[in-house]
Chain A
Amino acid sequence: MARYFLKRLAALSLSLIVASLVIFALIEVTPGDPASFMLGLNAAPETVAALREQMGLDRPLPLRYLGWVAGMLSGDFGQSYTYKIPVADLVAARLTVSLPLALLALALAVIVAVPVGLIAAARRGRATDAAIIAGTQVGIAVPNFWFAMLLVLLLAVKWRLFPAGGFPGWSDPLAALRALTLPAIALALPQAAILARVLRSALIETLGQDYIRTARAKGLSRAQALTRHALRNALIPVLTILGMQFSFLLAGAIIIENVFYIPGLGRLIFQAISQRDLIVVESVVMILVFAVILVTFLTDLAYALVDPRLRRRA
């Protein structure tokens, strides 16, 4: 187990190093000098040069890379060019919106997908199953920003149940939750459809196993065998997907956050890119990549703990 852990840890560190190099290189080739961007078109060349020096932009590339990485390791992600506050504070503030949004969407997806997947598997091959499959096919095909527009049109404009956009802050938790509801539904739709399909096929796979037949032979009803034995075993592929979906929801909310004008991490990246606030882009993307790699690492580790076969295979 220790060997497996160390091997995975080495792979994790290597991935992070390569990822940081790629992100740094990508930002380097971005046209537009942040210093001249900040000072505007009419700035004197000396002023720009002075600002470049102050921002450390005149140092050689390897030094700047090492400085960036060393800063991140000590929790210093640099200073935003446009907001003039530390990137860490900026990200922390945005996370108070993006994290609840991602969790809300994930919870909605699970609440819908688990019963739907269970019913489809239990009614496999019948009309209910066919209807559910058709529904999930449509759910996957709908672009979530279009679904968001329809939600706004119906639930916000016509019936006035939810606000059409914006975020009031957490001082009024109820209003905040209401503001996050429509974006969360829009984000959850495709995820719920994918999750329901994965759960359904995992359940059908498990239901064919001998121990389910044994459980049935012992006198358990179909529903009991399904919920007590099959569901638990079918959860492994579902958890993998959930892990991936969580990181996707955190980063993939860019478009939805833009539809609803929600000040989350996605909108921050989008604005930072258009304002050439490269240090923010660089650090936020790195944090997101780190989160994805960490989630994958933890999922792998959790499997190895649960399923000893996986340890040997590594």
Chain B
Amino acid sequence: MIRPLLILGAALSLTALAAALLSLVWTPYDITQMAIAQKLRPPSPAHWAGTDHFGRDIASMLMAGARTSLAVALVAVGIGMGVGVPLGLAAAARRGSWIDELIMRGNDLIFAFPSLVIAILITAVFGPSALNAIIAIGIFNIPVFARVSRAGALSLWTLDYIRAARVAGKSRTRISAEHILPNIANLLIVQGTIQFSLGILAEAGLSYVGLGAQPPTASWGRMLAEAQTFVTLAPHVALAPGLAIVATVLGLNLLGDGLRDALDPRLRGRVA
């Protein structure tokens, strides 16, 4: 079955990824190279996304910005998965025990914190940097993955083959790692895609208020913050980074939805 939205999502996500990877070795211009005489130029063949207030090439900055956004969001998802999934599996393996209760109440607690406020607090306490943005975003990914993996694992624990493994003498930890984890991988991939897109939005927000990656590292959020002053003179400086964020987040969301439908046979044929 052909899934046009899944393909669109994959195409948009891969474009962002390709731009980010390519920027490691090549960008049309050096992103630190200023040319005041060329400032705020509209899109042209030489600068196809125009130039900013320092005369820097916006297309090059978008490519380098993709690198920052994707890296921050990806590592934040990694933190969320790395800590959240084992917690969720442990909670499900000992359902109803004090460990389960402790983990789930801890989750509720993190959910209760206004995430943006805490992220701003963390970056303010430890200084604004891409690394602290990653930590701030990553912490709030932990309860999401813990909840998803617990819910997925709970339904598996009632199945016969898991019981058989128990009877065969396998420990709960081994069963979680060998049988449960591979079976909830689909769920985790879908959730991972969604958290990835949320991470990109969060990173953009943090760097927009100056608490994300610091200059000279390019970032979409900071490009928007700098563009704000010139938006009436040259709207293209604000349009390009915004569209880059929308396209990437939209792509990842479509990819996540498409994967969920494709990986879950029960949803096949249903309009999500």
Contact A143 B105 (CB under 8 A): no
Chain A residues within an 8 Å CB radius of B201? 141, 143
Query: Given A11, A248, A255, which contacts B208 in the complex, CB threshold below 8 Å?
Result: A255
Query: Given B235, B245, B271, which contacts A143 in the complex, CB threshold below 8 Å?
Result: B245
Contact A149 B238 (CB under 8 A): yes
Q: Which secondary structure dominates chain A's binding surface? A: helix
Chain B residues within an 8 Å CB radius of A29? 125
Contact B250 A273 (CB under 8 A): no
Contact residues, A239-264 vs B (CB, 8 A)? 247-248, 250-252, 254-255, 258-259
**Once the chains are docked, how many angstroms separate the CA of A250 from the CA of B117?**
11
Contact A289 B114 (CB under 8 A): yes
The chain A residue sitting closest to B124, CB to CB, is A273
Contact residues, A260-301 vs B (CB, 8 A)? 269-270, 273-274, 281, 285, 288-289, 292-293, 296
Chain B residues within an 8 Å CB radius of A26? 121-122, 125
Residue A15 CB within 8 A of the other chain: yes
**Once the chains are docked, how many angstroms separate the CA of A152 from the CA of B241?**
17
Q: Name the residue in B120, B221, B232, B253 with the highest tally of chain A Cβ atoms < 10 Å from its Cβ.
A: B120
Contact A141 B250 (CB under 8 A): yes
Chain A residues within an 8 Å CB radius of B272? 201
**Once the chains are docked, how many angstroms separate the CA of A37 from the CA of B82?**
39
**Contacts A14-B105, A26-B121; A145 near B112 (Cβ below 8 A):** no
Chain A residues within an 8 Å CB radius of B120? 254, 269-270, 273
Q: How large is the interface on B (under 10, 10 to 19, 20 to 34, 35 or more residues)?
A: 35 or more
B84: min CB distance to chain A, Å: 18
The chain B residue sitting closest to A201, CB to CB, is B272
Residue B77 CB within 8 A of the other chain: no
Residue B142 CB within 8 A of the other chain: no
Contact residues, A109-164 vs B (CB, 8 A)? 124-125, 129, 137-138, 140-143, 145-146, 149-150, 152-153, 157
The 0/1 profile, CB within 8 Å of A marked 1, for residues 108-146 of chain B is 110011101110111011000000000000000000000
**Contacts A137-B254, A292-B112, A293-B112; A146 near B242 (Cβ below 8 A):** yes
Contact A145 B124 (CB under 8 A): no
Query: Given B108, B117, B125, B208, which contacts A251 in the complex, CB threshold below 8 Å?
Result: B117
Contact B197 A251 (CB under 8 A): no
Q: Name the residue in B117, B197, B205 with the highest tally of chain A Cβ atoms < 10 Å from its Cβ.
A: B117
Residue B72 CB within 8 A of the other chain: no
Query: Given A201, A255, A269, A296, which contacts B112 in the complex, CB threshold below 8 Å?
Result: A296
**Contacts A124-B271, A138-B246; A252 near B224 (Cβ below 8 A):** no
Residue A19 CB within 8 A of the other chain: yes
Contact B197 A248 (CB under 8 A): no
**Once the chains are docked, how many angstroms separate the CA of A140 from the CA of B248?**
12
**Contacts A142-B246, A153-B231, A273-B121; A254 near B113 (Cβ below 8 A):** no
Residue B173 CB within 8 A of the other chain: no
Chain A residues within an 8 Å CB radius of B114? 247-248, 250-252, 285, 288-289, 292
Contact A19 B109 (CB under 8 A): yes
Contact residues, B166-185 vs A (CB, 8 A)? none
Contact residues, B217-272 vs A (CB, 8 A)? 221, 224, 227-228, 231-232, 235, 238, 241-242, 245-246, 249-250, 253-254, 271-272
B91: min CB distance to chain A, Å: 16
A314: min CB distance to chain B, Å: 13
Residue B73 CB within 8 A of the other chain: no
Residue B7 CB within 8 A of the other chain: no
Contact B125 A31 (CB under 8 A): yes
**Once the chains are docked, how many angstroms separate the CA of A123 from the CA of B235?**
38
Residues of A at under 8 Å CB distance from B?
11, 14-15, 18-19, 22, 26, 29-31, 124-125, 129, 137-138, 140-143, 145-146, 149-150, 152-153, 157, 201, 247-248, 250-252, 254-255, 258-259, 269-270, 273-274, 281, 285, 288-289, 292-293, 296
Of the A-B pairs whose beta carbons lie under 8 Å apart in the complex, a sample of 21, sorted by A's number, is A18-B109, A19-B109, A29-B125, A31-B125, A137-B253, A137-B254, A140-B253, A141-B249, A143-B204, A143-B208, A143-B221, A146-B224, A146-B238, A146-B242, A149-B227, A149-B238, A150-B242, A153-B238, A201-B272, A289-B114, A292-B114
